[in-house]
Each structure stands twice: as C-alpha cells, then as structure tokens.
Amino acid sequence: MVNLDNDLKQKILRFQKVEITEYQVYKKLAAYSPEPNKTVLNKIAEDEKRHGQIWQNYTQTQLAPDGLKIFFYTALAKILGLTFALKIMENGEEKAQAGYQKVINAFPETQKIFEEEKHHEQELLNIIQEEKLDYIGSIVLGLNDALVELTGALAGLSLALQNTRLVAVAGTITGVAAAMSMAASEYLSKKAEEQKTPFKSAAYTGAFYIITVILLVIPFFVFNSYKIALPLTLVIAILIIAAFNFFSAVVKNTSFKSKFLEMAAISLGVATISFGISYLLKTFIGIEA
C-alpha cells in the first residue's frame, strides 16, 4: 500500500471521480445506441470502471459518480448527437491524461490507464455512425443559403418598406419559397449523383433553411421599429453561425475561427450590400415607404 500525502490523494480522488462518472455516462449512452456503437461504448465503459477501481484500491474511498455530469452528457447526446457529446467529454479526458503523467512514477498502473485513455478517442471516431453527420453538407447548404439570402433580403426590405409587419410577412414568404426551391435543387442534385437517399438530403436542407428563416424573422414580428428588429436579426444570424460552426468544429475537427469569420463576413456583407442598394434606389428613384 502506497503512503499517500494529501496532495497526491486529492489528485487520485479526482481521477477516480472522473472514471466512475464516465463509466456511468458510457453505459447510459450504450443503452440506447445501435450496433456497432453499443458494443464499443460498453467496452470503454468497462475500461473506465476498471480504472476507477484501481484508483479506489489506493484511496480506500468509495465515491459516487457526478450525477450532474452524467445528466449533462447524456442530454447533450440526445439533443446534439452522440459524436458531439463524446467529443466534448473526450476533450475533458485529455486534461485528465495530462494529470496522469504526473503520477506515473508513483503508480505503475497509471501508465496502462494512460495508454488506454489515449486509445479511447480514436476508437470512438472509428466506430461512431450517426445519420446527421452523413448529411452535414446538406445542413450547411440550408443554413448558409438562408443566412446569406434572408439577411440580405430583410436588410433591403427594412429600408424599402420601413414596416416591420410587412417585412416579416415578405421575409417569411420569400424564405419558405426559397427553402422549397433549395430542397428541390438538393434532391435533383443528389439524385443526379445517384446518392441512395436524395430525399433525406433535401429534407435536411429544407428543414434547416426554414428553421433559420423562422429565427431571423422573429424580431420583425415582435418589434414595431425596423431600426430595432434589423440589428437583432443580424445578432441572431451571428449566433446561428457561431453555434453551427462550434458544432462542426467539434465533430469534424475543423477550425472554428476561420469558418465562423468566413460565414459571418459573407452574411453580413450581403446584408450591407442589400441595405445599400435599397438606400440608393430610394434616393435616386424617389421611392417612399
């Protein structure tokens, strides 16, 4: 039995808590996951359980798992997908791995635990199968087109009409029509490529287009002044871009900053140009709202 000083014992207790918590998370995720995800998740869960028992042998302390983290990761998986939740959890595990390095000399088993933890992420990446990730291109198409087209349309309509209800109605009609058009184009494109599920690709494109439309026009239904509604719509557009690019960066290991700045620049640039065109038309043609 190794004699633990207080600092070392606290480190080991933290490792133990993480392992038993992640054991419960993996077991819960495995319970509703299809094969082959279920088998691998159960295997990793048993590894985590064994790691926790190793630490408990040293600490001689039985700990309860972190119920809040179990709820958080399982809820995250149900809402945003298994891949996203596991990537977030594995990022936390990387910090734990750095801590393992510090106690390898004191605890020989740590080396084996460390090696097993390093393999977890790659193992997960190799087996996880999620439908939504297969259609990420269709989702990007729906989101990006809605953001670019509708922010531009709403900016132009705001100055041209200066009536938020009219802008909201015109924006909604424009958005829904564009969503159906985009979905139809995606269907025909995927069918031409002989993809097995062109209808699903079209459905993802159309659905995310319409969701984006709804979020962007809400301020025009709520506020009477376009000077308030339009800036709020642009803020919502930025939040949508940030949320999607964060999700994409996590599940696809891409750069969040570059993709976010690119999408934001395009959407806001089109909105600015549309607003400018409306201003020029009102000024030189003499159209009054």
Same domain (yes/no): 162, 115: no
Would you state the pLDDT for residue 267? 82
Q: Which of 88, 103, 129 is the last residue of a domain?
A: 129
Average pLDDT rounded to a whole number, residues 175-193 = 88
Would you state the pLDDT for residue 131? 65
Is residue 1 domain-resident? no
Would you state the pLDDT for residue 276? 82
Would you state the pLDDT for residue 233? 92
Q: How far apart are CA 259 and CA 161, in angstroms?
A: 33
Asked whether the predicted pLDDT for residue 257 surpasses 60, the reply is yes
Domain count, the chain: 2
Asked whether the predicted pLDDT for residue 80 surpasses 80, the reply is yes
Confidence of residue 190 (pLDDT cuts 50, 70, 90): confident
Same domain (yes/no): 30, 94: yes
Give the chain's mean pLDDT.
Answer: 83
Is residue 15 domain-resident? yes
Same domain (yes/no): 102, 83: yes
Is residue 163 domain-resident? yes
Same domain (yes/no): 147, 190: yes
Asked whether the predicted pLDDT for residue 116 surpasses 80, the reply is no
Which sign, positive or negative, has the C-alpha torsion 182, 185, 189, 194?
positive
Residue 128 or 220, more confident: 220
Same domain (yes/no): 76, 195: no
Residue 160 or 225, more confident: 225
Is residue 24 domain-resident? yes
Confidence of residue 164 (pLDDT cuts 50, 70, 90): very high
Same domain (yes/no): 151, 169: yes
Same domain (yes/no): 68, 211: no
Would you state the pLDDT for residue 172? 93
Asked whether the predicted pLDDT for residue 60 surpasses 80, the reply is yes
Q: Which of 77, 100, 129 is the last residue of a domain?
A: 129
Average pLDDT rounded to a whole number, residues 155-165 = 87
Is residue 83 domain-resident? yes
Asked whether the predicted pLDDT for residue 121 surpasses 80, the reply is no
List the domain range (segments joined by +) for residue 180.
132-285
Average pLDDT rounded to a whole number, residues 101-124 = 70
Q: Report yes or no: 15 and 117 within 8 Å, Cβ to Cβ.
A: no
Is residue 82 domain-resident? yes
What letters, b where the CB count within 10 A reaches 16 and e where it falls short, cover 261-275?
eebbebbbebbeebb
Same domain (yes/no): 151, 240: yes
Same domain (yes/no): 66, 96: yes
Type of residue found at 238: I
Q: Which of 129, 164, 185 is the last residue of a domain?
A: 129
The pTM score is: 0.74
Would you state the pLDDT for residue 78? 87
Asked whether the predicted pLDDT for residue 191 surpasses 70, the reply is yes
Same domain (yes/no): 171, 57: no
Asked whether the predicted pLDDT for residue 286 surpasses 90, the reply is no
Same domain (yes/no): 138, 237: yes
Residue 183 or 125, more confident: 183
Asked whether the predicted pLDDT for residue 166 surpasses 60, the reply is yes
Same domain (yes/no): 120, 145: no
Is residue 210 domain-resident? yes
CATH (domain of 15) = 1.20.1260
Is residue 188 domain-resident? yes
